[in-house]
Amino acid sequence: MNVVVVGAQWGDEGKGKVIDVLSADADLLIRYQGGNNAGHTVIVGDDEFIFHLIPSGLLHVGKIGLIGNGVVLDPEALWSELDQLRSRGIEVQQAVKVSDRAHLIFPYHKRLDVLEEAARTGGRIGTTGRGIGPCYVDKVARTGLRVADLGDTDAFAAKLKVAVEEKNRVLTKLYGEPPMAYDELLARYRRYGELLRPHVVNGMQYVREAIGQGKRLLFEGAQGTLLDIDHGTYPYVTSSNATAGGACTGAGVPPTAIDRVIGVVKAYTTRVGEGPLPTEFSPDLMERIRTKGKEFGATTGRPRRCGWFDAVVARYAVWVNGCHAIAVTKLDVLDEMERIQIGIGYRQRGRVLEDMPADLERLSRCEPVYETLPGWQVETSSAERFEDLPRAAQAYLRRLEALLGVPICLISTGSRREQAFKVGRWEQSP
């Protein structure tokens, strides 16, 4: 069975943890979009791992992780991630593959990311500053350099020269910044080319052969549906298709090769960076949940904004991704609440909208409509089955299923690997 795991909110839903759990039943793990803007946390025993580019299931021995063509790859970040895993005893030499069609992030992308943010007149997006947007801009403009270009060739040197000259014109003339040194960049990226060579594969061919051999594929989405370039709260989004469709383009597989899609949601909502968050908490509740849920970015350390579960957002994500089931994480963070609210619609001038409007101006005029449920005020972190959960927690989860129209397949009640259990038999649903 080939499964896509996708964030169904604004990222940081706990995808890393869910993927780690589900990877036990997969062979090939594939990241299909985004770059090292992602931070996916996996905690095994007392050890915490934060994956940025490398698929989050690689702590399981014998799995292969592929960085797909849809990813934008910063070789320096990849090398440092490989090094860190190696130093902690994880085998990466054979286990990590990189698609030759993935686009490369260069230092000028990172500088432009920061400069463009500072210059944005309509307000900042709050990007991670990793050069993600500018690299995708070059990809779409057909001026980008890909992994396949890396090497000790005249062609690579020539392409890089054109790119550096163009970026230097922008850096110096538009921003009054110093230019970048072409020779230094060429030498540095040639070295990366050598280091990466053992990992590079023809991504599509690799995936096709794996499917042919009956391997089980697990596609790892980064970011979340509401950060998707097409389906998110544009322009407060990332620059790639984080939704399930991105798995096809970003890994080179046909839609018919995908058997199941799982959306990951937190039991509440968070977002980091700017942009709308309709069910955002009041400051005191924000502080309480942020502290209990340790809601600080895994990549940038920024505090995350928190709010009630927004069923309008999650329902939209279930539809646009075609989710067969959802995984609910961080239920334990709500353990102490006296009462719990769920945003079930947006009210605008007396009318209730049940869908996300595209126009953020209109969204900002909407007030969420809440439904209130009793809290359970019992610890859930040691639950091993649905039946172990307090009644009120069961009722909350059943209500989420009813509002979203899909079953829950996995519940997580703590950050460690063993603090999660599967529910129902969603794999067998039509």
- Beta carbons of 220 and 30 less than 8 angstroms apart: yes
Closest CA to 216 of 252, 259, 172, 186: 259
Residue 12 found at the interface with ligand IMO (CB under 6 A): yes
- Beta carbons of 34 and 242 less than 8 angstroms apart: yes
Site size with ligand GDP, rule: CB under 6 A: 23
Within 10 angstroms of residue 184's Cβ, the number of other Cβ atoms is: 10
Which does residue 330 touch among Mg ion, ligand GDP, ligand IMO, none (CB within 5 to 8 A, set by kind)?
Answer: ligand GDP
Which does residue 329 touch among ligand GDP, ligand IMO, Mg ion, none (CB within 5 to 8 A, set by kind)?
Answer: ligand GDP
Least distance from ligand IMO to the Cβ atom of residue 123, Å: 12
Residue 385 found at the interface with ligand GDP (CB under 6 A): no
State which of positions 232-291 bind ligand IMO (CB under 6 A): 238-239, 272-273
Q: Please, which residues bridge with residue 162 across strands?
A: none
Structure tokens at 268: 């509440």
Structure tokens at 384: 């091993």
Least distance from ligand IMO to the Cβ atom of residue 161, Å: 27
Structure tokens at 309: 């579960």
CA distance 332 to 351: 34
Q: Is 90 exposed, middle or buried (0-12, 13-18, 19+ CB in 10 A)?
A: middle
Nearer residue to ligand GDP within complex by CB, 116 or 220: 220
Least distance from ligand IMO to the Cβ atom of residue 113, Å: 7
Q: What are phi and psi of 257, to 5 degrees?
A: -85, -5
3 state SS of 115: helix
Residue 220 found at the interface with Mg ion (CB under 5 A): no
Return the residue of 12, 13, 81, 113 that touches Mg ion, per CB under 5 A.
12
Helices then strands, each counted (H, E), the chain: 12, 20
Nearer residue to ligand GDP within complex by CB, 55 or 368: 55
Return the residue of 39, 70, 133, 193 that touches ligand GDP, per CB under 6 A.
39
Site size with ligand IMO, rule: CB under 6 A: 23
3 state SS of 45: coil
Catalytic residue ranges:
12, 40
Residue 55 found at the interface with ligand IMO (CB under 6 A): no
Residue 327 found at the interface with ligand IMO (CB under 6 A): no
Binding-residue pattern over the window 193 to 222 for ligand IMO, x denoting contact by CB under 6 A: -----------------------------x
Return the residue of 9, 33, 37, 380 that touches ligand IMO, per CB under 6 A.
37
**CA dist 379 to 211, 330, 383, 396, Å?**
42, 12, 9, 15
3 state SS of 339: strand
Within 10 angstroms of residue 199's Cβ, the number of other Cβ atoms is: 20
State which of positions 274-333 bind ligand GDP (CB under 6 A): 293-294, 298, 329-330, 332-333
Residue 36 found at the interface with ligand IMO (CB under 6 A): no
- Beta carbons of 411 and 386 less than 8 angstroms apart: yes
Return the residue of 72, 147, 207, 298 that touches Mg ion, per CB under 5 A.
298
**Interface positions with ligand IMO (CB under 6 A):** 7, 11-12, 37-40, 125-128, 130, 132-133, 222-224, 227, 238-239, 272-273, 298
